[in-house]
């Protein structure tokens, strides 16, 4: 799949919740949608602490079958959990988060296969445990959804 990297500046001030000291991911995604063109998907990557109203924090968010996804590296760094930062581990977590949210953007729901990238991850350790690949069933569904 062809990809391109663009840098966009969006004023995120209105999406900051001072009570939570976090940013509302649903509101930020709304700003990303117009930046996607046609059948394109766009993934916003930030280092801000994100939330959605029903969860204390999230690693990422996407519209199911939509054009936009958002990922945050804020809670993916090992130092947040009292460990030494490892750029390789951080990159793997970021990659898995991007692939997971892109899966949602292409219409995939959470999977129950333990190693599948589409397994839901509440904790960073769960991201570490899963693969960066789609299981056979999710690959098959993805092919059908992309047609």
CA distance 94 to 72: 8
What tokens appear for 132 in the block?
A: 């960066």
Dmax (CA) of the chain: 45
How far separated are the first and last CA of the chain, in Å rounded? 13
Q: Which tens digits make up the pLDDT trace of 23-48? A: 999 999 999 999 887 778 999 999 99
Per-residue pLDDT band for 4 (boundaries 50, 70, 90) equals confident
- Tally the domains of the chain: 1
Which domain does 139 fall in, by range?
13-146
Mean pLDDT calculated for residue range 58-73: 95
Q: Is 3 part of any domain?
A: no
In a domain, 46, yes or no: yes
Q: Is residue 50 part of a domain?
A: yes
Predicted confidence at residue 36, as pLDDT, reads: 87
- Is residue 1 in a domain? no
Residue 4 lies in a domain: no
**Gap between the Cα atoms of 50 and 97, Å rounded:** 13
In-domain check, residue 6: no
Q: Does the annotation count 101 as an active-site position?
A: yes
Residue 43 counted as domain residue = yes
Residue of 92, 101, 125, 141 marked active site: 101
62: in domain: yes
CATH code of residue 66 = 3.40.390.10
pTM of the model as a whole: 0.92
């Amino acid at each position: 799949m062809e990809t391109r990297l663009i840098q966009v500046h969006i004023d995120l001030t209105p999406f900051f919740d001072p009570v939570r000291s976090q940013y509302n991911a649903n509101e930020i995604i709304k700003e990303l949608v117009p930046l996607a063109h046609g059948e394109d998907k766009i993934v916003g990557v930030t280092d801000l602490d994100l939330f959605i109203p029903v969860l204390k924090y999230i690693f990422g968010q996407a519209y199911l079958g939509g054009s936009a996804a958002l990922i945050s590296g804020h809670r993916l760094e090992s130092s947040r959990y009292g460990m030494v930062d490892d750029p390789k581990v951080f990159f793997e977590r970021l990659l898995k988060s991007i692939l997971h949210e892109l899966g949602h953007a292409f219409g995939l729901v959470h999977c129950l296969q333990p190693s599948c990238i589409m397994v839901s991850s509440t904790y960073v350790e769960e991201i570490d445990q899963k693969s960066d690949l789609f299981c056979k069933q999710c690959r098959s569904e993805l092919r059908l959804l992309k047609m």
